[in-house]
Structures are given as structure tokens and as C-alpha cells.
Amino acid sequence: MSTDSADITWCICLGLLLQGLTLYYCSKNDRLNRWRFLLHISAFLWIAMVFLKRFYIDQILPPRDAISHEMWARHVAECLAHQDFDNLTHILGIGNRGYRLVLGAFYWLTDAPQTATYAVHASLAYWGLLSMVDLYSQHFRASRIPFVVIALSVFCPSALFWTVGNIKEGAALWGICMTTRFTYMYLSKRKRKIQFLTILGAGTIAFFRPQMAVLWIVGLAGGTIKKDVKPGMIVVSLVGVVVTFYLIQMVAPAVVDKIVKNGLLETAQEEYELRASIGNSAINFRNGVPTPFISGGILLLTRPWPNEVHNISSLFAGVETWFVFVILCYQWIRCPDRKMVLMHPLTMSLLGALFCFSFYFSFMYNMGLMVRQRLMVYPAILGLVAIPAFARVMKEDWMQRQAAEKKRNAVAQLHSVAAKKSESDSEVADVETSRQNARDRRSA
């Protein structure tokens, strides 16, 4: 497939926008500014990935979801152009329908090629991950940002692969990052003018993936309550949970009715048994039945295992998962004051989100789907890597300040001793001078 001027124009414009966004974050954060050259390279890489994914990878492995989204979005754009609103009634909804409706409106307004959709999702994902790095560095006030935080954020292979495409992952990841950023600012009492982005981000994740919104809201609210009971955040969290549950009922009313009738755990097990045979990469659990929370936690952090690798995509997913898991363990082993860092409200929020996702992923039935949807919990995993890394840098900064203070005290003490010795020598000289003067007067 060949490119045309519209593809190149959209990618150049969004590429320049990402470079400007990088300059903006670096200009207001000195610690981030130290990595500016690397961040500019990463921004270029995200746009370059658009061409690689659109015109090479997707031609070899056609994405079925993206093809379906594109077809329906073009249909929506055509209906909007001809003001044929009657044909849109069966498309109205949330989840996949909501995404196709928004994408169709975008096509209707801009007449953009599909490459523009790839570039928009790539830009949103890069923006969200960069904002999280900026947030961590501003919140913990370390003298520098560890390289591992930069590498696992804007250079994350799974984010580069899955968000660059005509699927919901890019926009959903951005929505999660914006919502999490506001929560951190609220916890640290550094409220800034991000309310609009917060509302837009929360609306995006709730509109495209309401089940993910519930998991994140419950997890993040746990950290808020851990610090102190703030009525505003509790009310917002409860309203968010109610709204997203209502949205889930719109997407899957039959499943919600089953949950009300049979209970959440039994319904989840039934859904897993029904769908476990879908596709060629079913997830198998010990004894054939997943264990709530435990199976999901293992699935999120360590799978696919080597014996579950069947193609190149699962190989890359397994290598990345194990690499991130080893880095996570390494950072917590080297973390100073682990108990204090663990009880930090931000850590508790991320652990709460990871705990909720562990239950959800316990009943995941397909490995390919799991690898893609694991990206929705990646901000929590990234935070659990970044927090102990920043804590260690802050400890090193404190030790350097203590060493510098001891050095200053030692130098000051040496100067004090020298001054006292000089003063003593001066007094002795004055006594000798007075004695000599007395002898001179007597001899005269």
C-alpha cells in the first residue's frame, strides 16, 4: 500500500505537535529536561511507528478489529454527511459502538485518512505516558529521573505496538493517565488547571472501556481514603462507579443480569468456561479453574510463560513481561524504607488498581486479548516501578546532603580552631610586647 500526501501531512503535523509537547514538559521540569534529547527521539519513534504499523505490519497481519472499526466509522461519516440520522440509531452506544461513532464524526469533520487515526492514537498514548513521568518526578522531588522510568514509559514496546492502530487502546491509555494524574495532584494538594483534561480523560475511558473505568476508580479511591477521608473524592468516586456500572449494563445487559442473579464470582467463572475455547490461544489455569485475584495477578505480571509462546508476538510479549517483572522486583529489593514507601497513598492507589485488575484478569480467556488489554493496567505497573526508583534517588540525595553538611561542619570547625589558635598567638604576642615595654621603662 502506498502513502499519499494526506498521510504524510497528518503525520508531520502530529509529529511536530509531539515535539512541541515534549518541549513544553521539559521547559517546566528541569529533571525531565535532562532527558530532552532522548524524549525527542522517542516522540519521533512514535510517529515513525505509525508508518511501520500502517503500511507494513498491518498488511502482513491484518487487524480484524481495526478493519471493522474503519468500515463502520466510514459508514457513520457518510450518514452524517447526508444527514441520514435514522441509520445511526442502531450504532449509538458505548464501547465499540461509541468508538466507531466518535471516529466516524472525526472522519466527517476532517475527511482524514486512516493513517491519521493511527497517528492520533500514537500521540495520545505518548502524551499520557510522558505526563505520568512528569507527575512522578514532580511529586517525589528527586534530583534526577532514573533511566529505567524513561525507558519503561515512552519506549514501552507493547504501548508502541498496541496503541498505534485503529483500536481504542491509545485513547483509553491517555484517559487513564489523565485521570490518574489528577488523583495524584489531589492527594498531594497540588491542584492545577487540569480539570478539563481530567473530565475528558475520565469520559474517554468510561465511554470506550467502562469496565476498565470501574477498576481504576475503585483502586484510586482506595489510596485517597488511606490518606484521609475527603468527602469530595469519595462522592466523585461513588458517582463514577455508579455511572460506569450503568454504562456496563448498556454494553452487556445479559452479563449484568447474570451477576445480579447468580453473583459476580459464579458469573465470571461461567463466562470464562464459555469463552475459553475462542481463538487458538486459550489461557489455561491449574485444575482448569482460575483462582480469583491470584490467577489474575500471575497473569498480569508473568505470563505468557515460555511454554505458552507460539508465535513472534507472544515471544515479544513474554520477554517484555518478564523484563518488567524483574525490574519491578529489583527496584523494590533496593528500595530504602520499603514499609514507608509501600504505605504511601500513591503506592496504595496503584496497588488497589492492580488488585482490582487481578480479579478481572483472573477470568481472562484468551492470551492474545489479555496481552492487549494488559496495557490498560500498565500505568499502575509503571508507577510501582517508578516509586521505589525515585525513593532510592531521594535517599541518595539525602545522603549526599548529609555528607556535604558534615564536610561543611568539618571545614567550619577547622576554621574555628585556626581562628582560636590565631587569637591565642595574638594574645601571647601582646603579653610579650607589654613585658618588653615594661623592661624598657625600668632600664630607662
Does residue 106 belong to any structural domain of this protein?
A: no
Does residue 247 belong to any structural domain of this protein?
A: yes
pLDDT of residue 79: 93
Does residue 405 belong to any structural domain of this protein?
A: no
pLDDT of residue 104: 94
| pLDDT top residue among 94 and 145 | 145
- Place 218 in a pLDDT band, splitting at 50, 70 and 90: confident
Range of the domain at 362: 5-62+113-398
Q: How many CB atoms lie within 10 A of CB 417?
A: 10
Does residue 151 belong to any structural domain of this protein?
A: yes
pLDDT of residue 4: 76
To the nearest 10°, report the CA torsion of 336, 340, 346, 347.
70
What is the count of structural domains for the chain? 1
| pLDDT top residue among 311 and 392 | 392
**What is the pTM for the complete model shown?**
0.85
- Residue 238 contacts residue 215 (beta carbons within 8 Å): no
Q: For residue range 164-181, list pLDDT tens digits in order.
A: 988 899 999 999 998 888
Q: Is 366 helix (H, G, I), strand (E, B) or coil?
A: strand
Q: For residue range 304-335, list pLDDT tens digits in order.
A: 888 877 777 788 888 999 999 999 999 999 99
pLDDT at residue 368 tops 80: no
Does residue 391 belong to any structural domain of this protein?
A: yes
C-alpha cell at 399: 545522603
Does residue 174 belong to any structural domain of this protein?
A: yes
Does residue 185 belong to any structural domain of this protein?
A: yes
| pLDDT top residue among 80 and 88 | 80
Rounded distance between C-alpha atoms, residue 414 and residue 120, angstroms:
63
DSSP assignment string, 16-79: HHHHHHHHHHHHH-HHHHTTHHHHHHHHHHHHHHHHHIIIIIHHHS--HHHHHHHHHHHHHHHH
Does residue 78 belong to any structural domain of this protein?
A: no
Q: For residue range 4-17, list pLDDT tens digits in order.
A: 788 999 999 999 99
| pLDDT top residue among 394 and 213 | 394
